[in-house]
A and B are shown apart, each in its own frame.
Chain A
Amino acid sequence: MKVIIIDDEPLARSIVKEYLQKHPQLEIMQECGDGFEGLKAIQQHQPDLIFLDIQMPKITGFEMLELIEQPPSVIFTTAFDEFAIKAFEAHAIDYLLKPFDQQRFDKAIAKWNEQKSNTTEKATQDLLEVASQSPSQSQRIVVKNGSKIKIIPVHDVYYLEAADDYVKIHTSEGYFLKNKTMIHFEQSLDKEQFARCHRSYIVNVQQITRIDPYEKDNHVAILRSGAKVPVSRSGYGKLKEVLGL
């Protein structure tokens, strides 16, 4: 079975490698030092299991997982991240606290072997949902643009628009697609800055220059970029609340 190790510290990777010697059925395909490399390696090798650190350069382990349509099984390794640990506990996901010994490592492998058959994808998705609300991640959105990874600071977002199974994230550089729901963004984005002004729209209130009436009962928000965002009747109420009117 194929394994990939993703951790930014070389020694942290080497200890996993060392402990894996006891499990010859697991073959290390690649070691990666950040989420970008990790993403590429996962797509290339389609591993059965990955060892994933959370705090890494540029994008966190969680953000990397978000970009994968069908993430492989994951054993998280972390030194100290209160937020992540709470999330693991809440979703009964196994994780290794650095430093860990061979015994603890073997236990995690055994547990993974047991659970492999029954799907754990739901738990992973729930975990990522929680993780996206962590203080470090709620300030940015990581998207995949073709083969490139783009990190969008939330203050650069103009507005979000529902598009079937995706959400279109409109920025100064055009729009990016993310495989998430509007509810996800409504919950994870800063409520002081973003308002769900319409069933299909979330707007960054700092971008609004004015709000005009539009047809009966409706409004339209004009953004600095000139873009027009529809505002429904109930959305108008929410918008006024965020703007403090």
Chain B
Amino acid sequence: MAHSPFSITRFRIIFITCWIVLVGDNIMVLHFFGLPWQAAIIDSAISNTILLLACLLVMNTLRYYLPRGNQYINIFSICLFLTIAWLLLSKWLLKITLSHYDGYTDLLRHSLSIRFSIAFLLLGCVTLISILWYNQKDQKENEERKNDAEKLAKEAELFKLRQQLQPHFLFNSLNSINALIGSRPAEARKMVQQLSDFLRGTIKKEETQWVTLQEELQYLQLYLDIEKVRFGNRLATEIEVDENVSQMKLPALLLQPVAENAIKFGLYDTTGDTVIRFRATRENNNLVIKVQNPFDPETASPQKGTGFGLKSIQRRLYLLFARTDLLITEAKQNTFTTIVKIPQL
């Protein structure tokens, strides 16, 4: 439920000031038309207090019921009805309390139409202002809700993209460990450790967390070591990092899926040995990471280059930076290159 305008002190002060001014003006006018001070004060106090109550009633009603579209005629009717009720009530009270003053009954009768129009205008104004107030509040709340929903959806999406660890990788790694247990138990134990560290890494990091390139490369190394056990001599990697970039930052867990894609692409598209090259450099205020893998241009179908791995990276970069130009791929001769640019914030 929207807050009433009275929840804000400023509005309370304005409202009370307006009411005092109104009462004062009313007294002056009545006195000007020949009513003694005392009678003028009583008259003004009675009629304006009832009017104040009517205003509060309208404002409170609108808090729970906001007219939509063509229901404005209802508001008009309510204002009209309230004004008439106010007029009758105050006329009755004023007659009881003030009829002993000379000429007061006459004055009251003559001023009825003026009293009516002023009260109607005032009530109308208050109603209009309240409607505007509550409408604006409503809109603001809707917008906040929408923003919240969008934020939640974005977080969920990032989480999902990050979690899409290939089950293929996991089960094959377990299979390799199974094979090592019999023949080379020490290596099996080492691989269990690497796999655990790798999995722990995917769980503990927040999707929006930034890490240094050095940290991310350590994590990547775990992954590459596991893959090297799986594929044996077929897989080799070269990592080259410029001196001044190892402390530059990037979103956590961004590099591993790029490497995964390159390895999959490289290993499954060629039959020979595969070398995956990583190179990190600085370009203006960007961290630029270049990953190269071999491929066979004759058999690589065009869809393959934007396989799941890269699509999710593209999406993550878009969600983080609202840019689509941060991931570039190029295929030249037998080398497929993936370039990721990470603006430094």
* Chain B residue at smallest Cβ distance from A16: B179
Please, how many angstroms separate the alpha-carbon atoms of A98 and B303 in the complex? Answer: 28
Please, how many angstroms separate the alpha-carbon atoms of A139 and B304 in the complex? Answer: 10
Please, how many angstroms separate the alpha-carbon atoms of A10 and B228 in the complex? Answer: 11
Q: Are B269 and A12 in contact (CB under 8 A)?
A: no
Q: Give the size range of B's interface with the partner.
A: 20 to 34
Q: Are B301 and A139 in contact (CB under 8 A)?
A: yes
Q: Are A18 and B301 in contact (CB under 8 A)?
A: no
Q: Are A9 and B269 in contact (CB under 8 A)?
A: no
Q: Are A56 and B230 in contact (CB under 8 A)?
A: no
Please, how many angstroms separate the alpha-carbon atoms of A138 and B327 in the complex? Answer: 28
Q: Which of B175-205 contact A (CB under 8 A)?
A: 175-180, 182-183
- Known interface pairs A55-B268, A57-B271; A15-B167 also in contact (CB < 8 Å): no
Q: Answer yes or no: B142 CB below 8 A from chain A CBs.
A: no
Q: Which of A8-37 contact B (CB under 8 A)?
A: 8-12, 14-15, 18, 33-34, 36
Please indicate which of the listed interface residues A9, A10, A101 has the most CB atoms of chain B within 10 Å of its own CB: A9
| Cβ of A47 to closest chain B Cβ, rounded Å | 21
Chain B residue contacts of A191, Cβ below 8 A: none
| Cβ of A55 to closest chain B Cβ, rounded Å | 7
Q: Are B172 and A79 in contact (CB under 8 A)?
A: yes
Please, how many angstroms separate the alpha-carbon atoms of A14 and B175 in the complex? Answer: 10
Q: Are B171 and A79 in contact (CB under 8 A)?
A: yes
- Known interface pairs A140-B301, A153-B301; A15-B175 also in contact (CB < 8 Å): yes
- Known interface pairs A12-B176, A14-B183, A36-B271; A151-B171 also in contact (CB < 8 Å): no
Q: Are A56 and B268 in contact (CB under 8 A)?
A: yes
Chain B residue contacts of A107, Cβ below 8 A: none
- Among candidates B178, B232, B269, B303, residue contacting A15 with C-beta atoms closer than 8 Å: B178
Q: Are A9 and B230 in contact (CB under 8 A)?
A: yes
Chain B residue contacts of A11, Cβ below 8 A: 175-176, 179-180, 229-230, 232
Please indicate which of the listed interface residues A34, A36, A79 has the most CB atoms of chain B within 10 Å of its own CB: A79
Q: Are B168 and A55 in contact (CB under 8 A)?
A: yes
Please, how many angstroms separate the alpha-carbon atoms of A56 and B299 in the complex? Answer: 14
- Known interface pairs A18-B183, A99-B174; A155-B231 also in contact (CB < 8 Å): no
- Among candidates B167, B231, B299, residue contacting A9 with C-beta atoms closer than 8 Å: B231
- Among candidates B171, B298, B301, residue contacting A80 with C-beta atoms closer than 8 Å: B171
- Known interface pairs A11-B230, A80-B168, A140-B301; A18-B175 also in contact (CB < 8 Å): no
Q: Are B299 and A99 in contact (CB under 8 A)?
A: no
Q: Answer yes or no: A111 CB below 8 A from chain B CBs.
A: no
Q: Answer yes or no: A58 CB below 8 A from chain B CBs.
A: yes
Please, how many angstroms separate the alpha-carbon atoms of A15 and B174 in the complex? Answer: 12
Please, how many angstroms separate the alpha-carbon atoms of A33 and B168 in the complex? Answer: 18
Q: Answer yes or no: B270 CB below 8 A from chain A CBs.
A: yes
* Chain B residue at smallest Cβ distance from A53: B172
Please indicate which of the listed interface residues B168, B229, B270 has the most CB atoms of chain A within 10 Å of its own CB: B168
Q: Chain A 201-239 against B: per-residue CB contact (8 Å), 1 yes, 0 no?
A: 000000000000000000000000000000000000000
* Chain A residue at smallest Cβ distance from B182: A18
* Chain A residue at smallest Cβ distance from B229: A11
- Known interface pairs A98-B174, A153-B301; A58-B270 also in contact (CB < 8 Å): yes
Chain A residue contacts of B69, Cβ below 8 A: none
Chain B residue contacts of A80, Cβ below 8 A: 166-168, 170-171
Q: Which of B134-183 contact A (CB under 8 A)?
A: 166-168, 170-172, 174-180, 182-183
Please, how many angstroms separate the alpha-carbon atoms of A15 and B171 in the complex? Answer: 14
Chain A residue contacts of B270, Cβ below 8 A: 57-58
- Known interface pairs A11-B229, A79-B168; A34-B301 also in contact (CB < 8 Å): no
Q: Chain A 56-74 against B: per-residue CB contact (8 Å), 1 yes, 0 no?
A: 1110000000000000000
Chain B residue contacts of A99, Cβ below 8 A: 171, 174-175, 177-178
| B interface, CB within 8 angstroms of A | 166-168, 170-172, 174-180, 182-183, 229-232, 234, 267-271, 296, 298-299, 301-303
Q: Beyond the given A98-B178, A99-B175, please list 4 additional residue pairs across the A-B interface where CB-CB is below 8 A.
A: A11-B232, A139-B301, A139-B303, A151-B299
Some 18 contacts from A to B, beta carbons below 8 A apart, are A11-B179, A12-B172, A14-B179, A15-B175, A15-B182, A18-B183, A34-B271, A57-B270, A58-B269, A80-B167, A81-B168, A97-B171, A98-B178, A99-B171, A99-B175, A99-B177, A151-B298, A153-B299
The 3 closest A-B pairs by CB, nearest first: A79-B171, A98-B175, A15-B179
